[in-house]
Amino acid sequence: MGSSFELETQVILAFRFKYINEEQMKEFDEMVRPVQKMSFGLYNSLQK
């Protein structure tokens, strides 16, 4: 779970420093959100 958030932070920084454009950042976001949701779902199911 933490790794996907670390990667997200790196992408935000890459955008802020203009290494990637807004469309590339949105594209990444579309890919990582489902992974983060699945990770949270798994984490929550294991907590029960």
Q: Domain ranges for the chain, please list them.
A: 2-47
The predicted-structure confidence for 2-46, as pLDDT tens digits, reads as follows 898 899 999 999 999 999 999 999 999 999 999 999 999 999 999
Q: What is the pTM of this model?
A: 0.74
| Region for 18 from its dihedrals, namely left if φ exceeds 0, alpha if ψ lies in -120 to 50, beta otherwise | left
What is the number of helices (H) and of strands (E) in the chain?
A: 2, 0
Which of the 8 DSSP states describes residue 24? H
